[in-house]
Structure 1
Amino acid sequence: MRNDLKPARLSARDVLRVGAVGLRARRARVVLSALGIALGIATMVTVIGLSESSRSDLMAQLDRLGTNLLTAEAGEDREGNPLKLPKSAVAMVERIGPVQHATATAEVDARIRRSDLVPEERTAGVTTQAARTDLLTALGGEVDRGVWLDAASSRLPTTVLGSEAAKRLGITGTGETIMMNDTRVVVVGILEPIVLVPTLDRVALVGFPAAERYFGFDGHPTTVFERSTDASVEEVGAVLARTISPGHPGGVKVSRPSDALAAKAATDEGLTRLMLGLGGVALLVGGVGVANTMVISVLERRQEIGLRRALGATRQAIRLQFLTESLLLSALGGVSGALLGAAATYGFATVQGWTAVVPPWSLAGGLAATLLIGVVAGLYPAIRAARLHPTVALNAV
């Protein structure tokens, strides 16, 4: 009798084939178990993909709009009384070396109605502001319909409506008229939404000269907009209030509109972490489902295990068989979930008009997570199957 005989070892191909036998024999159960893993991975991939797509679109929008826009608004004095910016505020800002462009708007005391048949108190939530003719150039705004104010129209009773203001007043095109106080004003243009200064979407804009002539405007700007070189934004921001109001710089509030968009991106990151947590819970539930399926599989297949052990299969071979089966089951759910998540990301991003972004690391991380779950979920059932004695297993009913 030879003592140097060693048990044969299964090749990787044989291990995969043996592990797949259990999956093919119980297809309905496999699909349901893999579904839990797939939903968890799909949720995580979709959340990451949509977050990256939204952030990418936001950053691209910021690049187009620029982050070098600063605004200076009139504040209040120590007693809480409103202050006024000097009439020369724009000219003073233009003297700052790095400043490339400066313009302004101002609040105008003119109540807006759709027509003279509408009571004065029903303003539709639309306010009036005076604007300089170079406002759109500074803000990067565009006209959706009609034209912007020029040197001639800024002196006449004409207005350009913000996108939301036009909707609230029921204005669909140019040439229509609205009432500002008791003056009939012609709508010559409707703006596209202004992303950096969304408050302008809800106002009716008239020229500075027209505001002074028809509505008693005193010529003091309310908000000054300034663009400078990207490298000098912080420096300009530090001297802007002092330049506009040397005697009372504390009464001028300086802000950077692009900071609001950057804050939105930070808020999206917090929401992304929350959704990833929910995806992780779904993935955990899927892992429990895989473990449950494998435990039941071991109980149902004790005779098969006993027969293989009686024919010479080692405990290691049995353990490897069930561990491989668990990994294949998890991998099936992981791959399906990754594909489903990528498809959902591309579909939703396309509907929103975003550039779809699915980071490769999210797919790789999802698949790695499924393999880890497969190992953890299949380890106990595999060890339990390997410990079954051939005689006990063969006698199991």
Structure 2
Amino acid sequence: MSRRRRAAVLRPARLRPADIVRLGGTGLRTRPLRVFLSALGIAIGVAAMVAVVGISSSSRAEVDRKLDQLGTNMLRVAPGQTPEGETTRLPKEAVPMIGRIGPVQQVAATGTVKGAAVYRNEHVPVGRTSSVEVAAAGSQLLPAIGGKVRTGRWLESATEEYPAVVLGAQAARRLDVYTPGTRLWLGGKWFSLVGVLEPMPLAPEVDSSALVGWKAAETYLGFDGHPSTVYVRARDDQVTAVRGVLAATANPEKPSGVLVSRPSDALAAREATESALTGLLLGLGGVALLVGGVGVGNTMVISVLERRPEIGLRRALGATSGQIRGQFVSESLLLSALGGLGGTVLGTVITAGYAYVRQWPTEVPVWAAAAGIAVTLLIGAIAGLYPAVRAGRLAPTQALAGS
């Protein structure tokens, strides 16, 4: 036999990438339970990371949606305390005075009706008000705060002078009353429910109030006519300027005793807080993913120990150390990819379920899913590297003798 033919016979066959993947898949199929448990560890870590990012992104999308819907040009004016500690009250003329500011587009107010409480009926013991306050409101309040009616209708010229009441969303839940036409015992008199509002994140005090018409509050409940909260809508490019003059305009005598705030700032602050919390939860998800990687490494080490006869036989038949290493690295990568894909799907499902319950838009960034799978492949390669090198170093005689 010629030297060239002898070299061709002794040269080991080359394995294509597809062949290496098939070899890795065969190793996984022979141990399904162990593969499932190892992949589960990876999947839990990836699912935690994807769910954290997805829920955070869905929350931010909901905040942005609310801000787009309600606007960031609303300002809130309320009485406060002077530097001397004196509690102030907004004058009755506060609303028309604020309305004369040029960039102001809408202005409306509510006024706390002191001494009035609302009950489902006259038999409820006094004091069990379910923390629902009674407030006077004008017909312009709802458009000023960007509110919507869930059922029934809002106070209008036909109802704001008569004993009619509208409940905020939280007030309706606390009283467990939702049907227009229901009678409520309010301030020692019967009022008829005409509507229930949608939740209003920019005006939580309205959410938990029973609202009656301004004139009806003065006629039936002894309301003094002083506003307790004024809501102002200004031009988007003039919000800062309007905010600077609101205190002096609302109460010229005691401007230092007026509190001016921008409700949308609270939503932005909440979004920033949730972003910080997201970083912490991502760290915990990373720890879970690392634990899953350790499980993959452990599985591969045990697989090498159990398959020493197979390794020895393949080496005796001409497989190179590189081919043995490639087989075990491919097994590790396939195992990690299986866990990564399963974790991405699970994290997406968790995000969608949570967003559905909270009535948020579902948003899972593509980069989060891609990063989760990429990280699992990296961990799989690292976890399988040592067992693969160990398997490649086994001499055929040593591997067969160990069987």
TM-score w.r.t. the length of structure 2 is: 0.91
Counterparts of 1:361 and 1:91, CA distance in 2: 52
On the 8 A contact 2:118/2:133 being kept in 1, the answer is: no
Q: What is the number of equivalent residue pairs in this alignment?
A: 397
On the 8 A contact 1:110/1:180 being kept in 2, the answer is: no
The answer to whether the aligner puts 1:359 opposite 2:365 as a matched pair is yes
Q: Greater shift after overlay, 227-236 or 286-295?
A: 227-236
RMSD of Structure 2 on Structure 1 (CA): 2.3
1:199 corresponds in structure 2 to: 205
On the 8 A contact 1:111/1:120 being kept in 2, the answer is: no
The answer to whether the aligner puts 1:110 opposite 2:115 as a matched pair is yes
User: Aligned pair in 2 of structure 1 residues 81, 332: CA closer, same or farther (>3 Å)?
Assistant: same
User: Aligned pair in 2 of structure 1 residues 298, 111: CA closer, same or farther (>3 Å)?
Assistant: same
1:89 corresponds in structure 2 to: 94
1:50 corresponds in structure 2 to: 55
On the 8 A contact 2:147/2:198 being kept in 1, the answer is: yes
Counterparts of 1:343 and 1:311, CA distance in 2: 47
The answer to whether the aligner puts 1:31 opposite 2:33 as a matched pair is no
Counterparts of 1:345 and 1:154, CA distance in 2: 44
User: Aligned pair in 2 of structure 1 residues 335, 125: CA closer, same or farther (>3 Å)?
Assistant: closer
The answer to whether the aligner puts 1:318 opposite 2:324 as a matched pair is yes
What is the CA distance between 1:8 and its match in structure 2? 4.3
Q: Deviations over 1:60-117 (max 9, x none)?
A: 1221111111101011123323201122211121222211101111111132243444
One-letter amino acid of the structure 2 residue matched with residue 368 of structure 1: A
On the 8 A contact 1:110/1:127 being kept in 2, the answer is: no
Where structure 2 has 5 or more consecutive residues not aligned to the other structure, the ranges are: none
User: Aligned pair in 2 of structure 1 residues 96, 113: CA closer, same or farther (>3 Å)?
Assistant: closer
Q: What SS class does the counterpart of residue 370 from structure 1 fall into? A: helix
On the 8 A contact 2:49/2:347 being kept in 1, the answer is: yes
The answer to whether the aligner puts 1:10 opposite 2:12 as a matched pair is no
What is the CA distance between 1:271 and its match in structure 2? 3.2
TM-score w.r.t. the length of structure 1 is: 0.92
The answer to whether the aligner puts 1:332 opposite 2:332 as a matched pair is no
One-letter amino acid of the structure 2 residue matched with residue 93 of structure 1: I
Where structure 1 has 5 or more consecutive residues not aligned to the other structure, the ranges are: none
Q: What SS class does the counterpart of residue 160 from structure 2 fall into? A: helix
What is the CA distance between 1:33 and its match in structure 2? 1.4
User: Aligned pair in 2 of structure 1 residues 152, 38: CA closer, same or farther (>3 Å)?
Assistant: closer
One-letter amino acid of the structure 2 residue matched with residue 35 of structure 1: L
Counterparts of 2:208 and 2:216, CA distance in 1: 20
On the 8 A contact 1:111/1:123 being kept in 2, the answer is: no
Q: What SS class does the counterpart of residue 88 from structure 2 fall into? A: coil
Correspondent of 1:73 among 78, 84, 92: 78
Identity over aligned pairs, percent: 55
Correspondent of 2:191 among 185, 192, 198: 185
Q: Greater shift after overlay, 62-71 or 304-313?
A: 304-313
On the 8 A contact 1:49/1:357 being kept in 2, the answer is: yes
What is the CA distance between 1:351 and its match in structure 2? 4.0
On the 8 A contact 1:158/1:206 being kept in 2, the answer is: yes
Counterparts of 1:119 and 1:176, CA distance in 2: 19
On the 8 A contact 1:131/1:205 being kept in 2, the answer is: yes
What is the CA distance between 1:372 and its match in structure 2? 0.4
Counterparts of 1:364 and 1:124, CA distance in 2: 48
1:95-174 → structure 2 map (5 Å cutoff): 95-114=100-119, 115-174=121-180
1:372 corresponds in structure 2 to: 378
